[in-house]
């Protein structure tokens, strides 16, 4: 496996500060997980996977002996297989143009939908996926093409997420109950490598995605036989200003990612990406209420913190099975949209003033973050008038957090 880095991120990625992640799949039908256990924080008794807050992992969690998800499934659905949810998923209220308008109202730069998650369901008629995609079953439509068109019509870039490392439709293994099981049970053979490679190549050829976002590494055969090198080379050729994330298990990444409190050591320099949900799940979890969901103020602070440290925020929404973004999520997004749009002109080209160029300080009870954007020093604070700023040579822009 040869290294395939960019020397520098393209200008659009350096200037971008907000992406929208979309986890939408058959798991939106049961839409259930324990919401209390935020990923990366101290594990609950019995382990993270048994008590996973990720609703998109439902197919795995219900198979773990003694899990609350398993008990919930038995009570509500009896012994019905997970595959039944694909047929029950109708997407009858899906309006990609409405989604795109909402994302644009936040000042989003790019949108990255899940095209295949670990359950193996593809949201388009992927080659070789016959009988297990949203064109043949469930929604009975290609969910990606109209979204790509709507996103681009609103002036945003379109990317794709693909689970290269796990596919529970392909494998027939015990459930994942500890992290080592991921690497023990993920498919690595030539047949799956060819299958996944054909999918991603098709995504590249159809959608020319600005972001190629893989998850849980890539099958080992593909790393060893040169096919991953060839796939990335094809992407570079087709999308010269496209960027590749760091979850391939190979030296091909353009930028580093972190997730909730996991991989915080990747949050250095400029151009890294932090991803998380509005709650403790990526897929829609009907159990999540306001207590588990970022408020407009909390989201504003999180966004400002990521921007101040040189990163991009990839913020996830989880639509319900009909295709509606749940009201509790919309409430937060609409509540912070005006503030985020007002901040947007000051997030591009950010850098870090140091030495005697700028000094920003405040009392301990004052929350603030700051960065340079060109010749402007941007300060975001809950009480801007309580922040002391000494920034010779900078135009100071002080922005209060939303109410």
Look at residue 1 in the predicted model and tell me its pLDDT: 42
Tokens of 378: 């941007």
Map out the domains of the chain as residue ranges: 11-346, 352-400
Q: What is the DSSP string of 251-274?
A: TT-SS-EEETTBTGGG--SSS-EE
pTM to 2 decimal places: 0.96
Low-confidence ranges of the chain (pLDDT < 70): 1-5, 352-356
Look at residue 21 in the predicted model and tell me its pLDDT: 98
Q: Looking at the domain that runs over 11-346, which CATH code has it been given?
A: 3.20.20.80
SS3 call for 371:
strand
CB 177 within 8 A of CB 49: yes
Residues whose CB is less than 8 angstroms from the CB of residue 197 and which lie 6 or more positions away in sequence, other chains included: 222, 227, 228, 231
Among the residues of 94-189, which ranges form H helices? 96-105, 145-153, 179-185
**Residue 9 CB neighbours (<10 A):** 18
| Residue linked to tokens 């839409």 | 31
DSSP state, 82? T
Look at residue 349 in the predicted model and tell me its pLDDT: 77
Look at residue 97 in the predicted model and tell me its pLDDT: 98
Look at residue 354 in the predicted model and tell me its pLDDT: 56
Query: Shortest CA distance to 299 belongs to which of 315, 283, 312?
Result: 315
CB 30 within 8 A of CB 85: yes
In which element (H, E) is residue 372 found?
strand 368-373
Residues whose CB is less than 8 angstroms from the CB of residue 213 and which lie 6 or more positions away in sequence, other chains included: 112, 159, 160, 161, 162, 245, 247
Query: Shortest CA distance to 133 belongs to which of 141, 121, 142, 116?
Result: 121
Number of H helices and E strands in the chain, helices first, is 12, 15
Quote the CA–CA distance of 277 and 55 in Å, as a whole number: 11
């Amino acid at each position: 496996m040869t290294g395939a880095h960019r020397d520098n991120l393209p200008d659009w990625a350096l200037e971008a500060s907000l992406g929208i992640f979309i986890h939408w799949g058959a798991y939106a039908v049961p839409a259930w997980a324990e919401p209390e256990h935020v990923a990366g924080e101290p594990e609950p008794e019995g382990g993270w996977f048994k008590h996973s807050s990720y609703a998109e992992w439902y197919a795995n969690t219900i198979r773990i002996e003694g899990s609350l998800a398993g008990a919930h499934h038995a009570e509500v659905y009896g012994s019905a297989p997970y595959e039944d949810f694909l047929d029950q998923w109708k997407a009858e209220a899906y309006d990609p143009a409405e989604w795109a308008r909402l994302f644009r109202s936040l000042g989003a730069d790019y949108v990255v939908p899940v095209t295949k998650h670990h359950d193996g369901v593809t949201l388009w008629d992927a080659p070789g996926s016959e009988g297990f995609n949203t064109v043949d079953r469930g929604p009975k439509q290609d969910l990606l093409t109209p979204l790509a068109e709507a996103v681009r019509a609103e002036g945003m870039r379109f990317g794709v997420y693909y689970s290269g490392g796990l596919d529970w439709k392909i494998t027939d293994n015990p459930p994942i109950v500890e992290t080592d099981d991921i690497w023990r049970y993920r498919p690595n053979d030539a047949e799956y490598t060819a299958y996944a490679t054909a999918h991603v190549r098709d995504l590249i050829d159809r959608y020319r995605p600005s972001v190629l976002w893989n998850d849980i590494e890539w099958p080992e055969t593909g790393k060893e036989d040169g096919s991953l090198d060839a796939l990335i080379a094809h992407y570079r050729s087709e999308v010269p200003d496209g960027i590749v994330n760091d979850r391939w298990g190979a030296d091909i990444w353009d930028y580093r990612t972190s997730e909730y409190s996991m991989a915080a050591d990747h949050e250095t320099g400029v151009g890294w990406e932090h991803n998380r949900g509005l709650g403790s799940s990526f897929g829609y979890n009907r159990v999540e209420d306001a207590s588990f969901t970022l408020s407009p103020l909390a989201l504003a602070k999180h966004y400002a913190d990521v921007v101040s440290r040189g990163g991009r925020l990839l913020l996830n929404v989880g639509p319900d099975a009909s295709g509606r973004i749940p009201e509790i999520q919309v409430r937060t997004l609409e509540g912070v949209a005006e503030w985020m749009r007002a901040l947007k002109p000051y997030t591009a080209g950010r850098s870090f003033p140091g030495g005697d160029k700028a000094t920003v300080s405040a009392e301990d009870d004052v929350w603030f973050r700051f960065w340079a954007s060109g010749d402007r020093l941007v300060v975001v604070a809950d009480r801007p008038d309580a922040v002391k700023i000494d920034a010779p040579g900078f135009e100071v822009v002080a922005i209060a957090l939303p109410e």
